Chain A
């Protein structure tokens, strides 16, 4: 009962005219930030942080959180339309969203993604209200071994990701892992594979590479197709109420999956230092794993858009939970919000809930409100967004390429990243031509760095003995599930061979 009273008070804060105004402003800014590749939600929040000293803290946090939600929604748009990840967490949206757009279903893909975002936020906000403190305390039990087990689980769901030859999937994954190894090694403090270049010490970041591989690579393939064959414009960009209805229908059809992806996403978001990006990959991987039609994934399956997006948005919300309940950021963006708390003279930590109820509950109430308002803004915008696809190719493409390069620069403000985008654009093109799947590479790039870190931290903790993963109660079960998932395709292969052998014998 007390919770409901608090929540009502929170809504009182969120419905204040100033809060509402700042929230809508934040959402619009966030959407803009989300659309621009490279300029992520973290950077957007950081950029506008100093301005928030002008409003009271409870309004400031609503404003900054709104930027984050806006970016979570907005990252979808370029992923679906142009195969360019607007945000790290929207890389997984490319796998099925872009094929959908190519089939002329961009409006449907966008609508479904936006509604999925909404479900993700609402599910997360409900859990937030129900069990903030116990969940935050539970998440603390996840140390490096547990985190490694979860990463392994994420990889295991992607075993069957590459369609075609398994060996090519393996090469692609290995290449991604190799790229993440470049830079200053955290454990020894030694530079790795930098060839004496200072700028290489920062290592490869996955955003410029994915922008290059998917964005630039896709444009080159597209250009080649157009050069070789007379292409008739197959894109039906007529969108309207119909797409939204269908989007809703799709969400309804996959409602259990959407909620499950949201729940999973929330939990991954609550874990320290992960955030929305791994959650979206896990959401995609798990949805595919448990789908009755995994073969549809990668060719424009609408579930492949819904699951990662619901997971990402739920994770984004979840990452705020340890921040407000314990003062521990769950994601880089939450870390920036935490910096804001200091600026506003609030002291993050376990006392925030009791000492600053107006602040905390105002934020929680604004989750529901922001989610709803952002959905409305996006749905109104879908027809206009899908209409971008009607812009002539010769005009659209140069604009996209410019946006790609700007995006890869603003991520870390170093020229190195721009060269990465250019070079990996070519590599992506060649890999596509040779039928090497790009998705496993993207997953390895995004998760590889974290996975290695957790693995080596765990090994230090266990004196080099890998049994450390099986000695701990939580990581043990995750490890077992992950290993079973890895073994599953092999088992299926053997079964198929045995069957084939029997058939021959008979």
Chain B
């Protein structure tokens, strides 16, 4: 089980690197789906099977299909791959990479001060839904409002 976490983590990191280096947008999307599925495996190992299932269905399923539809609508072919390649000189990468790695190093210094073992006990759907429809019912209602607002905004923006 522990080995599963590290392998899935490595897959997630490698495929995420592939996403940000890729010039073909459809390939990048496939790598992103791979990365999300690897993170779903991590969730499962960490004892959150419900979150893992939702990650696979909602993220890797629904949201990525939405991306795919938009990419198909924009209909970017070989022209866009050449354009991406011309935008991706090594000069573009240096400063953002250095800045992000400085921030990452600071974050890691803080994180490594904590010392606690994760017990990997499974928190199953029952407990999550009991909380979701108990103390957090207002948050669920607010989430539904947010989704409704997103729906109206997406319809209005994508309309001719």
Q: Is chain B a partner of chain A in the same complex?
A: no
**Which residues in A have some Cβ–Cβ distance to B below 8 Å?**
none
